[in-house]
Amino acid sequence: MRVVRRKTLERLEGMLEDAAEGTFRESDYDESVLSRIESKWKQFLGASVLSAERLEQEKNHVKELISDISHQTKTPMANIRLYAELLGERMEDGEDKRLLDEIKMQTEKLEFLIQALTKLSRLETDVVEVKPQYQELSGLLSGTLSDIRSRAEKKEIDLRCLYQGGVSCWYDRKWTKEALGNVVDNAVKYSPSGSSVQISVTDYEMYVAVSVKDWGIGIREEDTAKIFRRFYRAGELQQEEGAGIGLYLAREILRRENGYIKVKSEVGNGAEFVIYLPKNG
């Protein structure tokens, strides 16, 4: 009896190991020699394998759908921009020119929204993976600031980085640049002309903290827990450009590389967003 029980347990263990390694096949196990519990275990694992296959198929379908949407919208949006430019060359200043400028602005917003939703969908469906590497911060900070500096200069905002170099941690260069860029872009967007945005780095024992501090409009206390939600925008910001995706995307990226983000703010006295990146992989 003990021998039979041991063999049964060994077969159950073998089924489980095959399932964990992704090599389980029902055909490998002969129904005639299995006990009732082994048969039920086989049915359960078979159903689990089938569910995993369906999930992978759905993931591939979403991947193709995202690629199609991204590709199919590029040409129409480019044509709208082209036609708007051609019309602009024929128009003089006046109401028609103002309406045309509005079309251009709305086109830019739509392009931004499509790009943001495409990135978000790829991240949420694991079409792309966040792959942190242990590296120094200089490339991340310089690349992020170079993308946003022209916008800051247009608003006469002093975009200042206090980082002196020499600090390393685990992060994915491309996706963390996206996360940090969203935070810095928000700081510039909601800061008044002539103010400043300051980036600094603090090296802690387990994390490296990248701080983005502005002296803009600030965030109400009741909104600080909501601003990381997808599509959330505070009431007073409804008329401002944006889609309410940037901070949500930043939080998701950081979570996938074992980091996180916090915010400290006071209405009228600006806000400080701090991104924490792990020092241990």
Strands (E), 71-226: 133-136, 158-161, 168-171, 196-203, 207-214
Radius of gyration of the chain (CA): 26
Query: Contacts by 163-168 with C-beta closer than 8 Å and gap 24+?
Result: 163/137, 163/138, 163/199, 163/200, 163/201, 165/136, 165/137, 165/138, 166/136, 167/136, 167/137, 167/201, 167/203, 167/208, 168/134, 168/135, 168/136, 168/137, 168/208, 168/279
Give CATH 1.10.287 domain extents, the chain: 1-128
Instruction: Decide if domain 1-128 falls under CATH 1.20.120.
Output: no
pLDDT (tens, 9 = 90+) of the chain, 281 residues, equals 555 556 655 665 665 666 556 565 555 544 544 445 555 555 665 666 555 566 666 666 666 666 676 667 777 777 888 878 888 777 777 777 778 888 887 887 777 777 777 777 766 666 667 899 999 999 999 999 998 999 899 999 999 999 998 999 999 999 999 999 999 999 998 889 999 999 999 999 999 999 999 998 888 888 887 888 876 666 555 445 555 678 888 998 999 999 999 999 888 888 999 999 999 87
The CATH fold assigned to 133-278 is Heat Shock Protein 90 (3.30.565)
DSSP E strand boundaries for the chain = 133-136, 158-161, 168-171, 196-203, 207-214, 260-265, 271-278
Token digits of residue 103: 């079309």
Give ranges for CATH 3.30.565.10 in the chain.
133-278
